[in-house]
A and B are shown apart, each in its own frame.
Chain A
Amino acid sequence: MTRLFTALLAMLLSFGLAAQAQPLRLQITEGVIEPMPFAVPAFVPEDNGGSQYAEALSRVVAANLTSTGLFREVPPTAHIARITSFDAAVSYPDWRAVNVQALVVGAVAANNSTLTVKFRLFDVVSGQQMGQGLQFAGSVQDWRRMAHKVSDAVYSQITGEGGYFDSRVVFVAESGPRENRTKQLAIMDQDGQNIRTLTDGRSLVIAPRVSPAGDRAVYTTYQTGSPRIALMDLRSGQAQLVGEIPGAMTFSPRFAPDGRALVFSAAIGSTTDLFRLDLGTGQMVRLTNSPAIDTAPSFSPDGRFLTFESDRSGSSQIYVMPVGGGDAQRISFGQGRYSTPVWSPRGDLIAFTKSHAGRFHIGVMRSDGSEERLLTASFLDEGPSWAPNGRVIMFTREAQGGDPALYAVDITGRNLRRVPLASPASDPAWGPLLP
């Protein structure tokens, strides 16, 4: 694992202070009607090695910002000013003339296997630099990650939200006929790049989750012929079965926020209940004991509650209960079936899958069930997964008769987009922001 570290000064302005000081500001929660125009000229190469990354870095930053739907790029062909030196004064009138509001100026140097990337963000409207600028150094192989770091910093300074570009997604890569699908666990950067398969496809795998630290994944595997839970070290690719219960099918595993325990489902006879497994001691505790199906659990980020789906009322609905079990409160009361509740990393919202009148939706509600909003609608949408900043949701969409694909939407319901992948994919599990 290559190291990537922040080298220059930490940003001095806290986001709270920035909110008062900066005229450039986007409020994501309100939904942005008019995207903010920005420019990212090719980064300035500071040595020969850096020149091969100069253009590519700026393109990745531009693609990231554009993908949010909050920003609109003013393309390099429209630029009047030319950035030839990282430290030269910015000619604001030239940028204002092409209606740019946010300007990212970057530079790159490549020394042996080490790449150094730095950038500054300028508020063209008020004619001043925003924040202190940052420098990143790491392996040349991680050049895209450095572009993601730049993107995250720009996004954070302008929106006041945490970033999510330098993060990875574990998902299921699909191939072969529908009746005998091959499914492999895979991992990619959040923008669909650097795909790596983690299992060989001989065993069916479904519904992975990433550990809070991003170092492990849990998923359901059919490697024994029956559903079992596998825990994989993402660095080594080594996996082991955990949480086995004699006579039970076990599935739907989720990490506790501290990464030390799992909650999962076990089907025993006709009922499916929730269990907790301490990964350190192997101790297992039953959390629910109903004749119904209790599955798809999700921890609140503070670790005090679990939300899950149950058909104890007759059809699938969403419930919340204390993390150790006990009284479960139903929180979904709209029409249709509710499934796969997933607690936002910010703790304020629960995302879910809803099916009603032959359509499937991804939606969000507050954790008390109020303020339900549907974000999507299609033949089959399911399995929401939150970006680390709790502002974007990735999910599986399958058109009628088509192959599944990964889509993302922001929590205002705007900016629905397909994650660009060349082959069918499902069950995204968004990991944490990388260090």
Chain B
Amino acid sequence: MNLTTKTLLLLAGLALAACNNPRPGLFAGGGVDGFGSETGITTGTLGDPNDPRSIAHFQQRIGDRVFFTDDSSELTPEGRSTLQGQAAWLRANPQFAVLVEGHADERGTREYNVALGARRADTVQRFLIAEGIAASRLRTVSYGKERPVEACAEPRCWNLNRRAVTVVSGGVAG
């Protein structure tokens, strides 16, 4: 398979996914489509990061995630700054709802890490509420150590895996 074919297949796949968006609302209970709902990712146009109203701008320019130190759910100064930017964006774009995903690195036991991820997500949610975001727009989930973003078993990856990701999607939850 050459690169062009791969690219075409990839584009076709994306187009298909966009047409078949199975999620009627952001927080509709999943179940049937398994991982599609678990990652909290909805399919849609991210837009141009230069457009300050786009999700791409939120993810790339403001930053959709904050990081934590080992076994901690305290926000770092950088984290607070990122969340202030997120809150400003959410205030300016009230049509979007948010799922905050809490994650842990692999250096803890599985179930403790679910609780730790929940605490990290809650920290972010509380911060956003304190910044004026309506609680009805916010939900949290913890993945514990089940969904690392970096696979290497070294501190540089663990630092990136101890995170809370603010996943933005269209449609305010009822």
Contact = CB atoms under 8 A, between A and B. Distances in A.
B110 A206 contact: yes
Contacts of B73: 270
Given A206-B144, A224-B30, A225-B30, A265 B38 contact: no
B36 to A, nearest CB: 9
A353 B30 contact: no
Contacts of A379: 153
Nearest to A251: B114
Interface stretch (B4-12, B59-67, B101-109): B101-109
Contacts of B159: none
B118 interface: yes
B110 A383 contact: yes
A207 B29 contact: no
Interface string B107-150: 11111101110110011001000000000000001111011111
A378 to B, nearest CB: 12
B38 A225 contact: yes
Contact of B111 (A204, A269, A340, A380): A340
Nearest to B139: A226
B35 A249 contact: no
Given A177-B151, A179-B151, A315 B111 contact: no
Given A179-B149, A181-B146, A355 B122 contact: no
Given A204-B35, A353-B109, A293 B152 contact: no
A223 B146 contact: no
B118 A267 contact: yes
Contacts of B33: 202
B111 A270 contact: no
Nearest to B155: A358
Given A223-B31, A270-B123, A249 B148 contact: no
Contacts of A202: 32-35
B141 A204 contact: no
Contacts of B32: 202
B43 interface: no
A223 B148 CA distance: 19
A195 to B, nearest CB: 21
Contacts of B116: 293
B5 to A, nearest CB: 23
Interface residues of A, number: 49
Contacts of A295: 111-112, 114-115
A249 B118 contact: yes
A178 B110 CA distance: 15
B153 A293 contact: no
A203 B110 contact: no
Contact of A252 (B29, B34, B111, B141): B111
B37 interface: yes
Nearest to A296: B111
A180 interface: yes
A339 B114 contact: no
A340 B116 CA distance: 14
A330 to B, nearest CB: 16
B34 A223 contact: yes
Interface in B13-61: 29-35, 37-38, 40
Interface of A: 177-181, 183, 201-204, 206-207, 220, 222-227, 249, 251-252, 265, 267, 269-272, 293, 295-296, 309, 311, 315-316, 337, 339-340, 353, 355, 379-380, 382-383, 398, 400-401, 426-427
14 contacts: A178-B148, A179-B149, A181-B146, A207-B110, A223-B30, A252-B111, A265-B115, A267-B114, A267-B115, A267-B119, A293-B116, A340-B111, A382-B110, A383-B109
Given A267-B114, A267-B118, 13 more contacts: A206-B114, A222-B38, A224-B29, A225-B29, A225-B38, A249-B118, A251-B111, A272-B118, A309-B112, A311-B112, A380-B106, A400-B153, A401-B152
